[in-house]
Structure 1
């Protein structure tokens, strides 16, 4: 389950503002040029590589320093979550499947990434007012242990002002529904990566909708185009 970024706004036809400047909230600012995009992408790639090296060596302090130093130098937290930590976590699966890292290393890198995400969240929420945009519950399908994508979604939504109840991996459906009765969220976001869990996902979707809570699904289990999410009658789907 991956959060979607807001679409870029392009100038309207007939817009004759000066070349190289655009209006933004009453101010004129210089747009990001192609070469700047290249520099930013290169800088992000460097952070990804440094984080990977530290994490795969099991050096958690060094890995955390890489991310927090990038944050201190102006890299947005959302960029760190989606363009740094997410690619590093994806690389874990690729390297393990290719037998280039051990299961122990796979688990260690995942644990380090999870603690870095938590450290970013704790740093962000110090002294911050309680969010009021709405409330959502994010959970993995019962039996689903791959919780990192759901955690990233939880943090990005929190960044955008949502109150998030993150329930983590493999939440049994009866306990998920009990939580909905207690918290009355605006929606449930259900994550799954393994297609064999789809019958369990179907039961969870149906149970949540039965108590009046819409369900958004995400993850590879629901198909590359969300075809299984539609089959299971989820309200929405995201890759």
Structure 2
């Protein structure tokens, strides 16, 4: 079972969530400006996309890096914003009206309530969204969130690697340099990346023996926001 705990609006661990931060910024921008302009295809106009790239502080997508290769960026070229736009509309925190994105009353209320917005946004984003729909690969990993998150809760408690985590579910024979790379890519795109975007996991990268190794750690937000069946199996973290 997966249970998200209720966090206060001032809880410091909420700062670990890129998706929550992006949602708050988007809702507050729409509130301050009255609306966000839409293109004919109902995507956010470039003026807001550029603002989002500069202000979201998205992991591995710095404004400097993105504008280095593209002076003009559309919504679909910044996947976190495209996904967030869909989620906000689906949750009815905003709506399209006369060529603009406008907040609903509920969206306006949650724009100033990070804890309540997290409770609305993150469980839906992680557990309900089809993450393969915006990933580079259409493949979906075999499994379900209840199993994935309870196993990750134990395996990543003191840190692990992406490959070791994948092996805990699907066996040791898969790796990025053999035929199993597609399964690993699907797992990374549909499980690890959403949890990282939600702020529940964080990944660090290093080069070891000519290979890039991804380390996976639970964030403080994971520990404060989640209640899982495997919590009783965890060993306490050592304080140095």
What's the TM-score bracket when you normalise by the shorter of the two chains? under 0.3
| Higher radius of gyration, 1 or 2 | 1
Give TM-score scaled by structure 1 length.
0.26
